[in-house]
Amino acid sequence: MVEISIVYQGDLRCEAIHTPSGTVIVTDAPRDNHGKAESFSPTDLMATALGTCIMTVMGIAARKRNLDISGSTVVVNKTMITKPERRIGELAVVITVPHALDDATKEVLKTAALSCPVHHSMHPDIAMPLTFNWG
């Protein structure tokens, strides 16, 4: 179990503290939902969690094969919808691994990406297309 402590700062801003490390993240409401958009919004953090989780599990799979995929990137484009309620409609993910890899290794990394716990924790109504760019 990991504890996250959150304090409402007012003006639609929160400060979240990762208790084990003391790391602080500030969130702000987006402009299209009454905020100033001066930091990540809560839904931005969901997109961030998805992208970093995918890259982390790919990194674990690569490490098990003595492969370094440093320099790889993930870009997540978040699209909000308003009907039937305001929520994330799509998290489009583009993964780029700039290394020359054989087909078997690419398949291992794709499988790892799809095994991401955040991906499995998202509501099934959120579209999450993944695109892979290799080498």
Q: What is the pLDDT of residues 14-40, one digit of tens each?
A: 999 999 999 999 999 999 889 898 999
Average pLDDT for the chain: 96
Dig out the tokens for 47 from the structure: 């997109």
Stretch 42-49: mean pLDDT, rounded? Answer: 96
Q: What is the pLDDT of residues 85-127, one digit of tens each?
A: 999 999 999 999 999 999 999 999 999 999 999 999 999 999 9
Question: Hey, how many other C-beta atoms are within 10 angstroms of the C-beta on 109?
Answer: 26
Dig out the tokens for 91 from the structure: 């998290």
Stretch 47-57: mean pLDDT, rounded? Answer: 98
- For strands 13-18 and 4-10, give the pairing: antiparallel
Distance in angstroms (rounded) separating the CA atoms of residues 119 and 52: 11
Residues 6+ positions from 113 with CB-CB distance below 8 Å:
54, 57, 58, 95, 119, 130, 132
> Which of 6, 29, 38 has its CA nearest to residue 19?
6
Between 35 and 46, residue with greater pLDDT: 46
Stretch 10-14: mean pLDDT, rounded? Answer: 96
- For strands 130-134 and 23-28, give the pairing: unpaired
Q: What is the pLDDT of residues 80-96, one digit of tens each?
A: 999 999 999 999 999 99
